[in-house]
Amino acid sequence: MASAREAQLRLLYSLLKPAMRAAARFHIPLRTLIDLARLAYFEHLQREGLSHADIALRFGQTDRNMRSLAKKLKSNFFVAEHEVGLVREVENAIASHVAATRADLLAELPHIEPSELDGALASLRREGRIELAEAGQWQVPARYHVLSSELFHHRIDALNHSLDGMYRAVLQRLIFDDRERAMVKAITFSAKPDALQAYMTRFEGALRRDIAALEEEAAFEGHDERFTLGITLANARDPA
């Protein structure tokens, strides 16, 4: 039986494979890959609340290097992670409560500046993704929202959200063996294009209705445990 550390490293190696396939397809140099890995690790640890000094210790580097990484994260390259991802974080935080005040959100999201929070709240309200209750608390609307955007940084944020759910499903199912609330499953099949399109239209419609019913039932009974359901569909062959 593999040791705990061996199992952790094996899981990490498997999770790295899709990124490596993309890097090979786009002819990304190894040095650039390492730079991106360092930035991603720094971003995650910073979101976890670690100080630059603590992160520097884990990296085995100086505070000056951490300041350089922090500066890079504020560049336009990371607009999906910062601006769009920030809005999604606020929306998720509100959805995890029956209702949340601005003070609640600031306490739960300490890495977000008050001005950034206010901007995110205004954006979410404009799009109808949240509403302000009479008591001055933010809440998600009762109606089910389906959001889409053709803007590239919005689509990257959607990808981040999808992969985050996939990571948690893998961790909960493979490491913690949660069979009741986590699932990782892939089905390979054959289908005619027109039949597949018709099936996906029916499937998506039924899924939206069923999830809306689940949320209505949970809200009525006061349950606030939230789940992420991820669905992928792709040709079994890579595009040329």
Q: Which CATH code is given to the segment(s) 78-139? A: 1.10.10
Bridge partner list, 100: 138
At 43-77, the pLDDT tens digits run 899 888 899 999 999 999 998 999 999 888 888 77
The span from the CA of 156 to the CA of 160, in Å, is 6
Q: Is 45 exposed, middle or buried (0-12, 13-18, 19+ CB in 10 A)?
A: middle
Contact 62, 100 (CB under 8 A): no
| pLDDT confidence tier of residue 26, bands split at 50, 70 and 90 | very high
Q: Is 58 exposed, middle or buried (0-12, 13-18, 19+ CB in 10 A)?
A: exposed
The pLDDT assigned to 150 comes to 65
At 126-142, the pLDDT tens digits run 888 888 887 788 888 76
At 201-212, the pLDDT tens digits run 999 999 989 998
The conformational region for residue 175 under phi > 0 = left, psi -120 to 50 = alpha, else beta, is alpha
